[in-house]
Amino acid sequence: MITVITFNPSIDRLYNLDTFQVGFVQRANFVNPTPGGKGLNVAKVIKKLGETPTCLGFIGGFNGAYIEHEIECIGLKNKFTKIDDETRICLNIIDANGVSTEILEKGPTVSKNDIEEFERKLKEVLVNTKVLVASGSLLQGLPKEYYFTIGKICERENIKFILDTSGVSLELALDSNIYLIKPNKDELEALSKRNINSKEDAIDAAKKLLNRGIKNICVSMGKDGMILINEDNIYEVEVPKIEVLNPVGSGDSSIAGFAYGILKEYHIKDCLRLANACGMSNALYMETGYIETDDIETFIKDISIVEYAVN
């Protein structure tokens, strides 16, 4: 099965406004609250693809209870650890031109006891886990190298570990035998400490990261598709032009496509087709971490992949 860790879930509130002006009282056309946080977006999309992932992380307070209720309605397996602090709320304000402004709360702090309880649950679910996805930021209270610790557990248990995070927690996890990371251009720039202005730059930066033991590095580039680099090959993915409504969560949806494809032991090219189709489908809808399976079937046929050997 697929297990998805979201340490810091949220209630995502999407406000749709005609115009967004700082310093004025404005009225939203509609507000759409959904359970969010990168890992929960991933889990929702995996469920839509036909697998039921098990979800771990920390939730607390009224917001946590709301998320718990929602994920049970969606049909995800709930193995969250309950904490005393309140789960966060994140805002995404979208105007009529599709311009998005996000306000993200930091989230709660976890105690030593909370972490022990999480680790007990993790041990329990890993027995049946083939693919483990960890997405998003760490919580306050967790050690900065916690994703490294999880990577090492996956290595020991022979579980494929997909890590989608950024900053210090990603840097500290790089040597933990990760199966796949999916930085976007900005994240790859931060990670490789250089500017990425072309596909060649992205490939060059990713090649250096392969030396750290990561099996697959996938650089997502929005409308320009994706590049995946592993020890043997480079895959350049081109996606067709689409009418985008809200691309937030397209990366999370791609991660879901990868996790599903890896679980089903698809060929890497089919994993890439599914991952890109999921990202594209998500971009068509207002809701974050939302896809339609009909879109996937359509898009998969229009995605082209060029494969060549690493030199």
Quote the CA–CA distance of 248 and 251 in Å, as a whole number: 8
**Which amino acid is present at 117?**
E
Nearer to ligand ATP, 57 or 247 (CB): 247
261 near ligand ATP, rule: CB under 6 A? no
Which of these ranges, 58-66, 82-90, 140-148, 273-281, lies near ligand ATP under the rule CB under 6 A?
273-281
Q: Which of 1, 17, 105, 113 is nearest to 58 (CA)?
A: 113
Among 129, 216, 246, 254, binds ligand ATP (CB under 6 A): 254
Widest pairwise Cα distance in the chain: 57
CB of 256 to ligand ATP, least distance (A): 10
Tally Cβ neighbours within 10 Å of residue 194. Answer: 13
- Applying CB under 6 A, does 239 fall inside the site for ligand ATP? yes
In 3-state terms the chain splits into helix, strand, coil percentages (rounded to 5) of 40, 25, 35
Q: Is residue 223 involved in binding ligand ATP (CB under 6 A)?
A: yes
Among 76-84, 105-113, 166-174, 278-286, the segment contacting ligand ATP (CB under 6 A): 278-286
Asked if residue 10 binds ligand ATP (CB under 6 A), the reply is: no
Q: What is the DSSP letter of 184?
A: B
Residue 250 contacts ligand ATP per CB under 6 A: yes
Give every CB contact of residue 83 below 8 A, 6+ residues apart in sequence. Answer: 58, 59, 60, 64, 108, 110, 111, 114
Nearer residue to ligand ATP within complex by CB, 155 or 302: 302
Residues paired with residue 205 on neighbouring β-strands, in sequence order: none
Residue 206 binds ligand ATP (CB under 6 A): no
Q: Which residues bind ligand ATP (CB under 6 A)?
A: 184, 220-223, 225-226, 239, 242, 244, 247-252, 254, 276, 279-280, 283
